[in-house]
Amino acid sequence: MTGSGSLDRRSSTVPASVQALGRRSLLRGALGAGALLGVPTLLSSCGGGDAKPSGSGGGASAKAGPVKFGMNEAKGSGPAYERLSAMADAYAKKAGVTVSQNAVDHNTFQESISTYLQGTPDDVFTWFAGYRMSQFATNGQIADLSDVWPIDGMSDAFKKSATAEDGKQYFVPSSYYPWAVFYRKSVFEKNGWSEPKSQDDFMALMKDMQGKKITPFAFAAKDAWAPMGTFDILNMRLNGYDFHMELTKGKKNWDSPEVRRVFETWKTMLPYQQENALGRTWQEAATSMAKGECGMYLLGTFVVDGVPKETQDDLDFFTYPALDQSIGADALDAPIDGYCVSANAQNEDAAKAFITYLGSAEAADVANNSASAPFIAANSNASTAKYGALQKKSVEVVQNAKSIAQFLDRDTNADLANTVITASLQEFLKNPDKIDSITTSIQQQAKSILG
């Protein structure tokens, strides 16, 4: 992913047939009746692609109509709700239709998603990219949106994130947030530290922190998902993005020497992490970084919510340095949020017209102009005027990254992530010497879950 100029060029100058080639070859690799059945529709959608005016997106031709919008933020719960609601209102005004909003709090929405989709889902609903999305595509619970793509201002990386196993798009990205190593500028300045550029810098920095009685890394594992961030980044730094993605899809083994090496490396890093992490929430870990007890904290940008107001402006971050020069440091976790259309939407055309609007730069600007805090828009044409310093830097970091992962619990099967891997990572933190038995057990369960 490069600058926004080249992104536009990608979507407007590369002929649709060339883009389709990638999809077709992807398809050839896929086996199974579902994929075979998908061929004719895929070809016809490619044919349609040629006729489309480039860059504007096919969804623009879909006729607007009344839509129901399922939002994963409770009414009045803060900026995230304000943004969604503002976009829905702006669209209702612009298209002259009614958008009925259904606001459910984030965690309830996510936990009851399968009954939601099987029951009476809204036409368009907020969801996440990655395996979490493609799972529903495979089950036929969300609608094919390949005629909404390409979307003006959405880079190829985002298109990839919206693509399911069958090579078609089922998702429209809205925003994202990167995971990186956060620190307090004033603490670094006071101690004469600087952002490490290489592994040697990094190790020297951590040693120096320890010498000054500051724990290098804040760390928490009470929120079971939190340690996944460390696993993701170590795996991507040691084995590369492609290996990481194949591992999450079950194409590589969890008991392979590569994964063991990740745990071995993590074990050597444990002395640099806060102890007794299992009883600590990420908010407490963030607080200890804010107090200067810990030097750094690897977390998503939401870390700012966990530190006191007066320290928020003092935060800065850097991407995790390379641990292997041949692999480099160009991959990172940056979970993407966005929207899907449910398969049994009452009016699919109206849903597609709405979702096209939601993916546009215009919608992102409406959202950011009316909410008390902005999101980082996936659409590169969106205005960055409202962004804070951390967000501006996030954009830069993500644009410089070659590959973007979605975070382990979004990249793999939810059962595997939430029951097996969370427990195994906590087990590892308790008994770092049991790497062999832990990796073997993950592999056995991964095999039975992913098949």
Partner 1 sequence: MSATTAPPVPVTQGRTVERGPSGGVLNRRRGKVATIIMLVLAIVWLFPLLWALYNSFRSYSYTQTNGYLSFGGWTTENYSNAWSRGNFGLHLKNSLLITIPAVVITLFLSSLVAFVLARFSYRFNLTLLGVFLAANLLPPQALLIPVFRMFREIPLPTFMSESGTMLNSFWALILVNTAFQMGFCTFVLSNYMKTLPYEIYESAEMDGAGIWRQYWQLTMPLVRPALAALATLQVTWVYNEFFWATVLISRGNKLPVTSALNNLRGQFFADTNLVAAGSIIVALPVLIVFFVLQKQFVSGLTLGSTKG
Report the interface residues with partner 1, using CB under 8 A.
70-71, 74-78, 80, 102-108, 111-112, 115-116, 118-121, 282-283, 287, 291, 300, 302, 305-306, 308-309
Q: How far is CA 255 from CA 230, 241, 249, 443, in A?
A: 18, 18, 14, 6
Nearer to partner 1, 136 or 202 (CB): 136
Q: State the chain's maximal CA–CA distance in angstroms.
A: 65
Contacts of 347 (CB under 8 A, 6+ apart): 65, 66, 67, 123
Closest approach of Cβ 232 to partner 1, in Å? 16
Q: How far is CA 129 from CA 135, 163, 347, 379, 405, in A?
A: 10, 9, 23, 15, 10
- On the 0-12 / 13-18 / 19+ scale of CB atoms within 10 A, 370 is middle
Nearer to partner 1, 226 or 446 (CB): 226
Closest approach of Cβ 70 to partner 1, in Å? 8
Closest approach of Cβ 71 to partner 1, in Å? 8
- On the 0-12 / 13-18 / 19+ scale of CB atoms within 10 A, 303 is buried
Q: How far is CA 376 from CA 52, 286, 301, 367, 387, in A?
A: 29, 22, 11, 11, 8
| Contact (Cβ atoms closer than 8 angstroms) between residue 363 and residue 99 | no
Q: How many Å is the Cα radius of gyration of the chain? A: 22
Closest approach of Cβ 72 to partner 1, in Å? 8
Convert 53-91 to b/e letters by CB count within 10 Å (16 or more is b): ebeebbbbebebbebbbbbbbbeeeebbbbbbbbbbebb
Nearer to partner 1, 162 or 286 (CB): 286
Q: What is the C-alpha separation between 405 and 242, in angstroms, rounded?
A: 10
Closest approach of Cβ 287 to partner 1, in Å? 5
Closest approach of Cβ 215 to partner 1, in Å? 17
Nearer to partner 1, 13 or 77 (CB): 77
Closest approach of Cβ 52 to partner 1, in Å? 35
Nearer to partner 1, 46 or 74 (CB): 74
Nearer to partner 1, 415 or 436 (CB): 415
Closest approach of Cβ 28 to partner 1, in Å? 38
Closest approach of Cβ 110 to partner 1, in Å? 9
Contacts of 5 (CB under 8 A, 6+ apart): none
Q: What is the C-alpha separation between 347 and 335, in angstroms, rounded?
A: 29
Closest approach of Cβ 99 to partner 1, in Å? 15
Q: What is the C-alpha separation between 287 and 307, in angstroms, rounded?
A: 6
Closest approach of Cβ 305 to partner 1, in Å? 4
Start-to-end C-alpha separation, the chain: 33
Nearer to partner 1, 39 or 74 (CB): 74
Closest CA to 239 of 221, 227, 257: 257
Pairing of strands 179-184, 294-300: antiparallel
Nearer to partner 1, 24 or 291 (CB): 291
Closest CA to 315 of 206, 377, 372, 389: 389
Q: What is the C-alpha separation between 154 and 7, in angstroms, rounded?
A: 7
Nearer to partner 1, 170 or 375 (CB): 375
| Contact (Cβ atoms closer than 8 angstroms) between residue 341 and residue 348 | yes
Nearer to partner 1, 103 or 364 (CB): 103
Q: What is the C-alpha separation between 427 and 405, in angstroms, rounded?
A: 24
Nearer to partner 1, 155 or 342 (CB): 342
Nearer to partner 1, 116 or 171 (CB): 116
Contacts of 308 (CB under 8 A, 6+ apart): 287, 290
